A and B are shown apart, each in its own frame.
Chain A
């Protein structure tokens, strides 16, 4: 089975989300400093507060900004008439195999940013777990759902015949 990479616009979405998070982190840092100033902290105390809040926030910022690229690099997905395969993870790499015949229902979801970029998440529900494919272009997601539905009908038909 040929594994596909995610569309480039997905990286845009992940960076947009990362930027929002980064802004929030910077906001926290500024807030902490403002409180220190308002409380009349000395220069030394301000330095200590800056280091105490700044170092973890800087590390988090780095991770926030690096992760989308790494995640994008590692993410791959694919499906055929029998199975769906999703590969993901940066340090811990996970490969999940879901048989088409185990699909209960398929969901496509979009948030405001995703609507703007014409992207969608696809959730595959089975009798026990949900598996997400994040994130596909809306066209790709619709095509995938249609094809999987068709494969599912065929597989269920085949299995019924096998039982008979």
Chain B
């Protein structure tokens, strides 16, 4: 069995050293960064710290060397073998024909030593960390392995005619089927930050309102008059929103320009290859036949401004199951909603979403039970609170303020719920076009899932006695994708649709 490249030891030791120093400084920050540092204490402590750091670092060195010695891989005639681990050892064997996804990852430290990590997955795992096969090799070797494995997965073994497509590598911006331009990256950053700021602002306003009521109730007088209190609260809120926006803006810009640097989507025979990243370079390869669904999603602001992002749904790797997988499943990080058809037409023509053929059949079922219960609970709480306050002899002004605050809060909840229900009513629908199904759902946010009938596993319809009388039901479609994302709900449709889908399913 061939061992991993020695660069693995060096790159990890370098990252371990950086990590150890950061942890070290974090724990002993008080000694080193005091306003008036005690030099005697520092001098006396330095040998102890150096020894402690050296012992910790020696443990890391021992572990990395042990990992290097006990790990390796081998490409046989029909399968790929991999063993790894020190205390918990993992031996994996994966037949070429069962290879599901091949991903190449290269961090900044890996680049420094010219190595890359190749993960090969059979689709039986939920996250990339659990991938059956891991190979750490020189960058060029990983590229060659990536192409060889792609060819081997088609042919099933080395004995057959292997067509290596190394010469056809098309990883340049010009050849890409989708371009994540700087303009798009800036827009993506602004919209992500604005969504975050909006959420914080709503939360902050509600907090200020509640604090205002509490202040009056407690009569603490710490912040002076009502006017002073609200000006102070508004300034604090604004400051917090601005500060968080600046931080998230920097984070988003880093993600857009560094994380998604040189974003390319290319076709390689029967594979789709997505490559991106500056500090950590990802090259994700998916077979077309392994793609089970395409999800087009829009957040609140994205929906309002007409933008969207597109993710792939495959068995094993998928988005929504972990931050690493968010990066793995991304197909198009940001585009105009009306460009989705055009972009998918180039990359995955069979997954271009169809126009809705059905609409939601009723409005009221979209108003959630939870909100109704919350409304009732708020109302009852209001009456009880007012009653207790009245019994305690609280003044009429205070009673009025509390009543207005709670009524205001209830109205906000009710209005947002009604609006969400209206948007849900407008969005929900389904299109069945031969072998393809497009499901639309969502309120403030919208999700469109496109999948093939052959990837539909089961159909469930959920209804209540009243809805049954009216002939309406919520469809729950179970797809052949990752266990955590394999349900697509299409609310409040005609119940005969479930029967049509069942027929398609059984055929």
Contacts and interface: CB of A to CB of B under 8 A. Distances in A.
Interface of A: 82-83, 89, 91-99, 102, 126-129, 131
B460 A95 contact: yes
Contact of A95 (B315, B457, B479, B498): B498
Interface string B296-325: 000000000000000000010000000000
Interface hub of B457, B459, B487 (most chain A Cβ within 10 A): B457
Interface in B458-507: 458-465, 468, 476, 478-483, 486-487, 498, 502, 505-506
Given A127-B315, A128-B483, A129-B487, A97 B502 contact: yes
Contact of A128 (B457, B468, B505): B457
Contact of B457 (A91, A92, A129): A129
A129 B483 contact: yes
Nearest to B315: A127
Given A95-B461, A99-B457, A129-B487, 8 more contacts: A89-B462, A93-B463, A94-B476, A96-B458, A97-B498, A97-B502, A126-B480, A129-B457
A92 B465 CA distance: 8
Contacts, number: 64
A94 B476 CA distance: 9
Contacts of B486: 128-129
Contacts of B462: 89, 92-94
A91 B463 CA distance: 8
A93 B465 contact: yes
Given A97-B460, A97-B505, A128 B478 contact: yes
B457 A97 contact: no
B460 A102 contact: no
Contacts of B463: 92-93, 95
29 contacts: A83-B505, A83-B506, A92-B464, A93-B463, A93-B464, A93-B465, A94-B460, A94-B476, A95-B460, A95-B461, A95-B463, A95-B498, A96-B476, A97-B459, A97-B498, A98-B458, A102-B457, A126-B457, A126-B458, A126-B478, A126-B480, A128-B315, A128-B457, A128-B478, A128-B480, A128-B483, A128-B486, A129-B457, A129-B478
Nearest to B458: A98
Contacts of B460: 94-97
A77 B455 CA distance: 24
B481 to A, nearest CB: 6
Contacts of B315: 127-128
